[in-house]
A = this chain, B = another copy of it.
Amino acid sequence: MMKDVQSEKDQRRVALKYVGVDEIRWPLQLRDKQRGVQHTVAKVRLAVDLPQDTRGTHMSRFVECLQELEYLELGQEERVLDLLKEHLQAESAMMRLEFPYFLQKAAPVSGKVAPMDIDCVFTAEKRDKFSLKVRADIPIQTLCPCSKEISERGAHNQRAVARMEVLAGEMVWLEELAEMADRAASSPVYSLLKRPDEKFVTEHAYDNPRFVEDAVRELALMLDRDRRIKAYRVRVESIESIHNHNAFAVVERDWQ
């Protein structure tokens, strides 16, 4: 029989916070507010803690836990963590899923619908209590209030990313976070715009100039009003159209 090197006693008396696998990709299925089921692909990190007297973890069991589920699905985070704790005989477990998610977005005038991708990260941890942090990167448009004010015509604008990170007591849809970001922006962005839509978006952005500072403050106010949100961190970063660098602002409440 083969020796189990990982199970050797370790004398160094150093407990490890995390041991596990990273950068593993796996098909992911999730519920979609608008259409039922959505298929995507996640980059996955799985880890457990390691007590000070054990030399190593059994890395193959992480992948076996993924295999045991018929498919990886959002909403099952706690079940995965319980599986990891059980199969790896650990006190605590964590899972991080990074994946693109598609919103179905309707253009503002023509109403034409097309999918638009956002980048999401779900980070779940469980020792005794289960916690889930959700991060969504929502692309938006910002139009500079200063540029508009001081110029006789036009105003510089650009794509920006609203990175919303929340710890919630109850289910919050990704669509809800995206709608907040859209309201905080000079304008939402879309995958499909016909000319009447482009006219609307251009004028709407011009009529709603927003610094990154404005956008994060609007988001803070919205998140403060939402009883489900226990803690948050919001970062808006503009891909400045007049510079080769970005502008950003961050606001957070009870975030760690």
- Residues from chain B with a CB closer than 8 A to the CB of A59 are 247
Q: CB within 8 A of A189: which of B10, B152, B244? A: B244
Near B by CB (< 8 A), chain A positions 152-194 give: 152-159, 187, 189-194
Find A55's partner among B115, B211, B245 (CB 8 Å cutoff).
Answer: B211
Q: What chain B residues lie within 8 Å of A189 (beta carbons)?
A: 240-244
Please give, as numbers and ranges, the residues of chain B lying within 8 Å of A239 by CB-CB distance: 158-159, 239
Question: Which residue on B lies nearest to A29, using beta carbons?
Answer: B39
Neighbour of A27 across the interface among B39, B241, B248, B251, CB < 8 A:
B39
Tell yes or no: A86 within 8 A of B by CB. no
Task: Tell whether A17 pairs with B251 under 8 Å between CB atoms, given A22-B237, A100-B41.
Answer: yes
Interface residues of A in 2-51 (CB under 8 A from B): 2-6, 10, 12, 14-27, 38-41, 47, 50
| A151 at the binding interface (Cβ < 8 Å) | yes
Task: For the A-B complex with A16-B251, A154-B205 known, give 12 more contacts whose Cβ atoms are closer than 8 Å.
Answer: A6-B146, A16-B213, A21-B245, A22-B247, A25-B100, A39-B39, A151-B198, A153-B206, A154-B157, A157-B241, A191-B245, A205-B241
